[in-house]
Every structure is written in C-alpha cells, then in structure tokens.
Amino acid sequence: MLPYKSLIQLDRNSPLSLHIQVCNSFIALISNGTLQPSALLPSSRVLAELIGIHRNTVKLAYEELISQGWADSVPRKGIFVLSKLPVISRRRLPEPQREPRQQDPFKWKNKFAGFTPGRNLQTAKLTIDDGFPDVRLTPIDELMREYRSISRKSYGRNFLKYGSAKGSEHLRSSIAHYLYHTRGITVSPENILITKGSQMGIYLAAQLLLNNADNIAVGVSNYLHSDNTFLHQDAKLIRIPVDEYGMDIDHLEKVLRRRSIKAVYVIPHHHFPTTVTLSMERRLKLLKLAKEHRFAIIEDDYDFDFHYENKPYLPLASIDHHQNVIYIGSVTKTVAPALRIGFMIGHTPFINAAASLRELIDKQGDTVLEEAFAVLFDNGEMERYFRKTIKIYKERRDLFCKILQADFSNTIKFKIPEGGLAVWAQFDQKINLGKLAERAVKNGLLIDDGNFYKNESFSANGLRMGFASLNATEMVTALEKLKQVI
C-alpha cells in the first residue's frame, strides 16, 4: 500500500471541506501517475485510521471521486481508479471580400468586411441574453468604496503612473491564491497576465501561437469570436465534433495522425454554445495528446465559478504537468461585462511575450480598479458574492427550465444545464429565428436571431437563452412575450 499518511495532507483551517481535500489529493495522485488505472484504493476504514478523519468523510470523498469520473465502485470488491483513464507515466475565416469603395481617402485592407460589431445592451429593457450575470447583484458599492479608498491614500497615487503590463501585482497574487483554493491551480503571480476580459487573452494567445496557414482545432460548434480571432491570423480551423461529453478527443487523435496542429481551443466547462462539459477521460487524453504532439491547449474557462450540482471538474490547467495549457479566465463574465478584468496563465516565456505584445495594443489596464478587485478577493467579498449568486442563479435556472418544460415543450428542446448562465435551446425547424427576433423586438423583447452560433459546419436552429440576468417577474414576462410571438 502507498504511504497515504504522508501523501494525503489535510489542512483543517482551509475553507475547503475535508472530503474535498481528500478527493483532490487522490486526483493529484492519479494525474501524476502515482495511482494507475484499475488501482485499488484503501477501504474507508483503513484510510480514515491512516489520516485521522471520520470514516464517513472518506466515504464522501470516494463518492465525489466517483461522481467526477476518476474512480469506480465494484460491489464487494472496493473502490478502484477508473480503468478507462489513460495510463500516465509517473513523473521523475474564409478570406473576407473587400467592399467596393468610392473616393476612399487612403488605401487600406479591410479584414472585417461583413462583420458586425456587438449589440448595445445598455439601452435594452427586457432581454433574453446569451448568458450574462445580473449586474444588479454586482458588489459595485464595495468595489467603488475600495476604489475611492485607494485613490485617496498617498500610496494610491502611485497607481496613476505606468505600471506592469502584466497588471497589478496585488491582483495577480490574489487571483493566484483564489485559483489554488477553488480550482487546484498552482501558479506564481509572475505567470499571470491580467487582461481586459477573456477575449483579450484569446487574441494574445492567437497572435503568439498562429501564423499563416497554421492549423488550430476547434469545436464544430464554437464561440464565434474565438473563431474569428484565429481566422484573423490566417489560421485554418480544423472542426472537431462536440457531443454530450464535450469535444471528441478520439476524433482529434485521428486528425493528428494525418496533419499537424498548432493548438486546440477548448471550452471544457459549459461549452459555448451547447453548455456541455468535457468528460474527465477526454480531458486526460487531450493532455496526453498535447504532450505527444507538442501542441498548445487554449483552455477558455470563462464561467467556472457557476456550477449548481456536483463540484465541477478541475480545469485542464490544474492537472497539466507539461505546461501545454494556456489558461484563460474572466471576472467580467462572472461579475459584470463592463468591468473588463480577465486573466491568462501560461509558462514564463509565453506570459512575458504576451505582456510585451499587450503593451503594443494597450499599455496597461486600470491599475486602481485592479487593486480594488484585489481587496475584494482578499477580504472575502468575492467569495460571498459567488455564494450568493450561485444560490440565486440556481433558483432562476430551475424556474426558467420549469416554464420552458411547461409552455414550450412542442417548440423547444433543451437539457437542464449543470452550470453556467444559459440554456442551449433548439427550436422547431419550422420557426424562423430571424423573424422571431424581429417580432419579439416589436413586442418589447430583445432576443438573439441565432446567427451568432452558426458557422460553416454548424447551423442548428438554436439559441443560448440566458436566465441569470432576469428576476422571476422579468422571466415570466419575457417568456410569455416569447410564447405570444411564437
């Protein structure tokens, strides 16, 4: 038997419960190759005695391990590491057409002909968006209090000068601490770049990774702005199927046998737009392929914080032992879209280069705002905000789905999402979403026409329908208007 007494170290002062700490310890042992597929885990009684906790706590840890797809229970035999997991060695855009121009004052190349800037949602009243937080819940008073406090202090004046292109060192330290305790990511502040939301992180990664005609693997269904960012680099998109378990990594493996791929862009949690989650088996295989074929993984984890059922799977970045993952996260997507704070994590040379590139397009962010956010992370305000909003958003998700099931069963197909802020709704083929959106606006409801989710390989008659930004009264009114329009 392995020396579990020394391998599993528990911190009784940690905000993480003991059974989650035990679960995470086993995940680490599996992902670093210490425990191999089909390995038998110690009985709950034996392990409880070894590490000095109650037997029921060990049972809860094993249940969590099984629910996350790392282990399996065999009746009358015990708990085993899942046999399907890969064996891990133990560590020692089509070309845009130029619009005809008349009397153009100078020559230039328009690579954005046909593109339409995003809609202005600041003036919209009743909206079913594609999954944004409710800005009324944003801790804006607390944030502005800290912003003003920092600005008034003598040392705060220094934050009005040029600072590091990587962003506030205080915020990078706070995020590093937050990521370690919530996502199991161990990272130094020097390996974190603060960005203006996740989109800037995607853009910087694409600029550094991709050259003309380089291949990047993306989902058949995918986030349009990321696709366009890669196409802007003249890269070639290799479409990989996405099913109920996320991106099909077996299909990716077949593609790798016949062509070279520079990077894989993946949204493991709540894939955009379909909201599916990448299974643990596929996550580990993707990491294994990345090591073998030396490609980068751009992990877009834009809304990890919102999960309503079981504890979410750990990000790829938390179990990446070979530094193949470029991890991109966002405060913007979880707090308020206009507060442009995101982060990108990668190995040191890559983050240093990304910071240098960022200086060419945006010298630095709002240091005072970043410092204010750092204080909210440090004093627990952000943790309180997430606890409060998760409870509220779960209630809203349940109500939203209940109404969809009751009133739209003949016109909309969907699955209740385990996390995130939106439902992927597939409409009856007879419904023209473009006309639906036009009629809805006339009826006082703003809703998308579905074109944002389509690409050359994906044309589902579907919408992401956000529930988080609507309170109960607004939700009932919005869906009643939608029902009338349909």
pLDDT tens digits, one per residue of 350-360: 999 999 999 99
Strands (E), 282-345: 296-300, 325-330, 342-345
3 state SS of 412: strand
Query: β-pairing, 71-74 with 462-466?
Result: unpaired
The predicted pLDDT at position 310 comes to 74
Q: In order of start, what are the domains of the chain with their CATH numbers?
A: 4-81 (1.10.10.10), 127-133+388-485 (3.90.1150.10), 143-382 (3.40.640.10)
The predicted pLDDT at position 94 comes to 47
Q: How far apart are CA 207 and CA 230, in angstroms?
A: 8
Using CA of residue 179, residue 185, residue 189, residue 191, what is the dihedral sign?
Answer: negative
3 state SS of 336: coil
Mutual angle of helices 55-67 and 44-51, in 10-degree steps: 120
The predicted pLDDT at position 62 comes to 95
Choose among 472, 428, 471, 470: nearest CA to 450: 428
Choose among 365, 349, 363: nearest CA to 191: 349
How distant, in Å, are the alpha carbons of 9, 300, 335, 387 from that of 423?
Answer: 39, 19, 19, 21
The predicted pLDDT at position 272 comes to 94
Q: What is the DSSP letter of 332?
A: T
Q: What are phi and psi of 136, to 5 degrees?
A: -70, -20
Question: Which residue bears the tokens 């995130």?
Answer: 420
Average pLDDT over residues 224-230: 95
Task: Write the pLDDT tens digit of every residue in 58-97.
Answer: 999 999 999 999 999 999 899 999 998 888 776 654 455 5
Element (H, E) at 378: helix 367-378
**For the chain, percent of residues with pLDDT exceeding 90:** 77
Average pLDDT over residues 317-325: 93
